[in-house]
Structures are given as structure tokens and as C-alpha cells.
Structure 1
Amino acid sequence: MELTYSKCGDYLIPDLVLSDTKEYHIGKYGRLRRAYLKEHRPILYTNLIVTEKLFPHLEEIDTACRERLEIIEKAMMQQEGVTEALKSA
């Protein structure tokens, strides 16, 4: 891969372009994961950024957490005997 550079004053700045242009919707759990990686796993965080895998990773984590939360909520509702009639009362 050949890099091109732009001269800005006395400096040569590499012309970098992100290859992935998909928009990712990162929710609460994705943001929490990013904060964790940034604070406690900075090398992994940097590697994910450089390889352009950070946002797909955060979206995957957010989706998995929301699905797991739904499963837990349904199990808790069954365990406590919550019904639609009870919720509307």
C-alpha cells in the first residue's frame, strides 16, 4: 500500500481515508464498552481503531447486551408472575 502525503507548512501529513463508511448506532452498552476499553485496555482500544474494527465491535456488544437484557427481563417477569393485566392496572 502506497501512501500519499500533503504538505502543510513544513510538515508532510499522510492522506488517510477510512474505508468503512457504514453508520453504526452505538447505544448505552456500546458506549460503556468503549469507555472500558479506553481506560483499562488502551492497547486493544488503539488496535481496534487502527484496524477500523472498533465501531463494529461496539455495535456487536451493544446488540448482545440488549438481547441478554430482554431475556433476563422476561425471566424475571415470569418468576414474579407479572402479566399484562397487572401492568395495565
Structure 2
Amino acid sequence: MELTYTKIGDYHYPDLYLSQTDDDRLLLAGKLDDHLREIDALATEQVDRIIADLAAKERVDEQLKSTDQLRWVGLMNSFRAAAEEQILREIVYA
């Protein structure tokens, strides 16, 4: 990639420009914060749903919590990690 420069006085400044992506337009229009809050709410809701689905599938319930707390915590932590990884791939990094 070759850069071009503009000389102003004794200094050469690189000719750099912002690309016109959706993020730039949202930032310039003052809508980026709202968009990020919406994505965060959507991601949180989906993580909670996935955790509940995994817990139901594996029969991790309040009874297990009262009889074997360490196992319950370990399973719920692994469900949360799996759900967050999935949501990061699907929503955030996509």
C-alpha cells in the first residue's frame, strides 16, 4: 500500500481519510450509543435464554442447587461461557 503526502510548510502530512462505514455514520449522526445499547440488550437476552435452555436440557435445577452447590455452580458457569462464546460469534464478531 502506497501512501501519498501533502506538504504544508516544512512538514509532510499523510493523506488519510475515514472510510464511510455504518459505524462511522452512526458515530457522526450521534446514534452509535443507542445502537450499542440495543446490541448489548439483545446479546444479554439471548445469553440468558441459551443458559436456561442448556440448564433445562441437562436437568440443572433448584434441587441440584440445594443438594450439590459446587456442581451446580460449575455447570452454570460452563453454560454461561458456552452461551457467551456463541453470542460473541453470532452477534458481536459477525
The yes-or-no answer on 1:61 pairing with 2:39 is yes
The separation in 1 between residues aligned to 2:20 and 2:47, in whole angstroms, is 27
TM-score, structure 2 as length reference: 0.48
| Equivalences for residues 18-29 of structure 1 within 5 A | none
The alignment's C-alpha RMSD in Å is: 1.7
Identity of aligned residues (%): 33
Runs of 4 or more consecutive aligned structure 1 residues displaced over 4 Å after TM superposition: none
| Alignment partner of 1:79 out of 38, 57, 68 | 57
Shift of 1:85: 2.0
* Greater share of helix: 2
Match of 2:82 in 1: none
The separation in 2 between residues aligned to 1:42 and 1:77, in whole angstroms, is 43
Deviations 1:21-75 (A, max 9, x none): xxxxxxxxxxxxxxxxxxxx86111100111110000000000000011111111
Question: Which entry has the higher C-alpha Rg, 1 or 2?
Answer: 2
TM-score, structure 1 as length reference: 0.50
Q: Could you list the runs of 5+ residues in structure 2 that have no partner in the other structure? A: 1-18, 69-94
CA shift in 2, pair 1:82/1:56, >3 Å: same
Aligned length: 49
Q: Could you list the runs of 5+ residues in structure 1 that have no partner in the other structure? A: 1-40
